[in-house]
Every structure is written in C-alpha cells, then in structure tokens.
Amino acid sequence: MAKVLFINPGSAGHVNPTVAVCKTLVEKGEEVVYYATDKFTDRLQDIGVEIRTFNSDDMMAHFSTYGRDNLFNVMNGLLNTTDLFLPKILKEIEDEHYDYMIYDSMFGCGYMLAQKLGIPAISSITTFAHTKDSFEQFTNQLNVNLSDEAKDEADKAFTTLKTRLEQTYDISIPSRFEVMNNPGDLNISYVMRNFQINSDTFDSNRYFFAGPSVIMPQPSDFMAEIDQSKPIIYISLGTVFNENIPFFNKCFKALADVDATVVVSIGETNRIEDFDEVPSNFIIKSFVPQTELLQYTSLFLTHAGMNSANEAIMMGVPMLAFPQNADQPVVAQQIEDLNIGQQLNSETFTVEQLKQTVLTMLNHLEEYQNNIDMIKDPSHSEQYGYELATNKILEFRDAHCIMQK
C-alpha cells in the first residue's frame, strides 16, 4: 500500500473524472489524501479518501485577480493561486510521508509542489493534452485579437509574478506552459486517444490516454417518466455556463413541433418561471442523471464541455455543439472535424437554423454513430477509462516508488 497526495482544486469538470479513479485506488489498497475546494466535499465523501479543503471563495478571488478576459490573464490567475495552495499544503503535510502525488493539470500548482516534495508525480488531464508546440499554437490562436497593450500588460504581470514566486518558494517556473499544463513524470488523460488532437505527437512513455472515466450508472426511476417511443433529444449547457435563458427559449421554439421527446437540464440556478412557455414535447429538469439518460439519447445538444463530449462518445451519441467558453470551442471543432456531430454559434444561431440542423442530423444518425465507433479504443470494450487509468497509476507506482514499510 502506498500513500498518495492528490491535489485538485478545480471545478466539477476537473474533479468528476477523478472520483472513480480514487475510489478504485482505495479499493486496491492505496491511502489517498485529496485536496479540493469545499464545494466538492459531498462529491468525494463516500469514495474512501481523506478530504482536505480550500475555501472556494478564496480560490476564485486569487484566480480572478487579473480578470478572465483573455487566456494570458487566466494563466496569471492560475499562477497567482500559488500563494494560496503551496503554503497551506506544505504546512499541513510537513510531518507526513507520501510515496507519490497526482495533481490536476491546470489547477493546484502541482508542477511547483512536486519540485518542493521531490516525489514521483502524475498529472491528471481532463481536457486536450498539449505539447509545448501545440500549446503555443493554442494560445496564439485564442489571443489572436488581443491588443499589443493588453498582451504587454499580461506579460509584465506574468514576469513579476514568476520572479516573486520563484524567489519566495525556491522553485522554477520555466514558462506559461508549465503554469497551465503542469506536466508530470506521467501524464494521464481522460480523453480517448482518437479524439485527442494530434495524438501521435505525444511520447507514449509519458502520456497515457485512458479515455472517459465514468462509472456506468445504476438504473433509476428517471427514465420512467420519459416517452421512449420517439427519439430522445437531450439539451444541457453543463454546470458552469448554463445561465443562458435566451438559448433555451430558442430551443423551445425550434423543436416544439419536432416528433421527439426533448429533455432539458436547466441547472440549479435557473427558474422555470423565467422561461417562455414550455412546449408539450419538452421535459424540464434542474438535474438530469446524464450518463443514464445518454444511454437512451438519439441526439445531444451540448456546450461541448470535455466531460460531456467524453460521455456522449462513450454512449455512442451524436452531438450538436454550442460552445460557450474555455476549451469548448476547440472540443466543438474536433467534434465537427471527426464528423461525430456538428456545431452552431451559440450567440448567432437562428430558430429555423437549429430546427433544420436537428432534423437533418436525426436523419443521419447512423453515419455519426459509425464515426463514433471508429474513435473508440478497443480496450474500452473490456475496461472503463478509470480502470485503465488506475492500472497505469499502479504500474507507475511500482516502477518509481520506494514505499515505506
């Protein structure tokens, strides 16, 4: 048995894929101490890990210091969280022994913490992985419209932060790549290799594409109220960007007379009374058991979050993507490029455009489903992503760790 330090103060999309992995690690005898924000205490409660928390408001305050209007400022915000994470973790674990650590590739400053602890480190990647070259292309693409003045300001802030943190904590921060990607000795991605952009550019000795880390749900009574005699269309904008009432209202108008059952997840903060009149073929829910519903879904209208895309691919469901923010435009483009779905601009699409796109896609479901089948790795027919990830972690442990008796 080894003792594992797991650092993951990210959002739901970063935490959720790790739940099944940690549960399986514990079942196989590992002792896991998991650092997350206090928002995820309940999510981690019953998987056997020791939970330690950061205050989520403090984390967001540090993260948002430079604004989030461009990717450079987002990276400065990530770097700025070092002062919140490093001192707290180092103080709390100073008398504890860990055999190896796992950290989120984006949140938690894992690359820097690994330097201080000097133990084998694994990076947990919940979106597309990057090489240094692809990351440079990615940042240039997203910042193509950034003014020289804004870029200079972000550069100065980064240099100031980098210099201060390196001196304060005696660490090395080579570039922005390490800040946003936190590479480890081993890097485990929860994206299928055939969905990963330019997957052939990654060193197979250091990067492992485990695929979706999803535990198949136990049947509930949710499907009992869903009319399954017609195609099921599922609409969700995820947990972060779902406060978009105009989007849902346009869906009502576009799909009101489509011969399908339309299930909509509006999230916990939207109120049904704030929407237009709901058509009779729609079912509106604050919460939907997504992986259960996707098993019966013909078409998924999604924000193209990576977790949702992974789950749809796993269940063989074509997607119509409406990217909102973050990595979603890149995910949506990959969905379209691989012809496992299409995308529409979430701000400019028209009611008629949505209706015709949905009708056309419903008539070509088999083509999309065949393309999804081509993406799936044969290993996933025998083991789920979290099982493949766990096996790789334990293989890494055996090769790199000298465990205390």
Query: What token pair was written down for 56?
Result: 């989520």
Cβ(334)–Cβ(271) below 8 Å: no
**394 lies in a domain?**
yes
Q: Is residue 251 part of a domain?
A: yes
Pair 254, 282 in one domain: yes
Residue 320 Cα distances to 243, 264, 266, angstroms: 19, 14, 17
Q: How confident is the model at residue 241 (pLDDT cuts 50, 70, 90)?
A: low
Using one digit for the tens of pLDDT, what is the confidence trace for 195-204?
Answer: 999 999 999 9
Give per-residue pLDDT as tens, 305-333: 999 999 999 999 999 999 987 788 899 99
Are 179 and 71 in contact by the 8 Å Cβ rule? The answer is no
Does some domain include residue 237?
Answer: yes
Confidence at residue 290, expressed as pLDDT on a 0 to 100 scale: 92
* Same domain for 155 and 92: yes
Q: How confident is the model at residue 404 (pLDDT cuts 50, 70, 90)?
A: low
What DSSP letter does each residue of 110-155 carry, written as one string? HHHHHHHH-S-EEEEE-S----HHHHHHHHHHHTTT--HHHHHHHH
Distance CA 206, CA 181 (A): 14
Q: Which of 17-21, 113-117, 175-179, 324-328 has the lowest mean pLDDT?
A: 324-328
Residue 123 has what pLDDT? 98
Say whether both 375 and 388 belong to one domain: no
Residue 260 lies in a domain: yes
| Position 127 in a domain | yes
Residue 148 and residue 25 share a domain: yes
Q: Show the tokens assigned to 230.
A: 């017609």
Do 169 and 211 sit in the same domain of this protein? yes
Q: Are residues 182 and 109 located together in one domain of the fold? A: yes
On whether both 274 and 177 belong to a single domain, the answer is no
- Residue 405 is assigned to a structural domain of this protein: no
Neighbours of 405 (CB within 10 A): 2
Higher pLDDT residue, 139 or 25? Answer: 25
**C-beta of residue 44 within 8 angstroms of C-beta of residue 34:** yes
Does residue 343 sit in helix, strand or coil?
A: strand
In this structure, are 118 and 183 located in the same domain?
A: yes
Give the C-alpha separation, 186 to 398, whole Å.
13
At residue 243, the pLDDT reads 66
> Residue 271: pLDDT band by 50, 70, 90 thresholds?
confident
Rounded mean pLDDT, 130-135: 94
Closest CA to 357 of 301, 315, 296: 301
Q: Verify that 166 and 47 share a domain, yes or no.
A: yes
Q: How confident is the model at residue 214 (pLDDT cuts 50, 70, 90)?
A: confident
Quote the CA–CA distance of 302 and 310 in Å, as a whole number.
Answer: 12
> How many domains would you assign to the chain?
2
Residue-number span of the structural domain to which 127 is assigned: 3-215+384-400
Q: Which two tokens stand for residue 386?
A: 């979290």
126 or 273, which is more confident: 126
Average pLDDT over every residue of 117-138: 95
Is position 92 within any domain? yes
Encoded tokens for 274: 């704030």
List pLDDT tens digits, range 363-397: 999 999 999 999 987 766 678 899 999 999 999 99
Query: Is residue 126 one of the residues assigned to a domain?
Result: yes
H/E run at residue 47: none
Q: Are 36 and 7 in contact (CB under 8 A)?
A: no
The reported pLDDT for the residue numbered 141 is 80
Mean pLDDT, the chain, integer: 92
Give the torsion sign (CA, 251, 256, 262, 267).
positive
Look at residue 240 in the predicted model and tell me its pLDDT. 62
> Do 391 and 298 lie in a common domain?
no
Could you tell me if 313 and 375 are in contact, meaning their C-beta atoms sit under 8 angstroms apart? yes
- Alpha carbon distance 92, 102 (integer Å): 17
- Give which of 170, 205, 168, 160 is closest to 399, Cα–Cα: 205
Q: Within this chain, do residues 230 and 182 fall inside the same structural domain, yes or no?
A: no
The CA-CA-CA angle for residues 308, 311, 312, to 5°, reads 85
Per-residue pLDDT tens digits for 16-41:
999 999 999 999 999 999 999 999 99
Residue 99: give its domain's CATH number: 3.40.50.2000
Shared domain for 202 and 248, answered yes or no, is: no
So what's the pLDDT on residue 405?
46
Query: In 3-state terms, what secondary structure has residue 354?
Result: helix
pLDDT in the model for residue 230: 95
Adjacent-strand bridge partners of 5: 33, 101
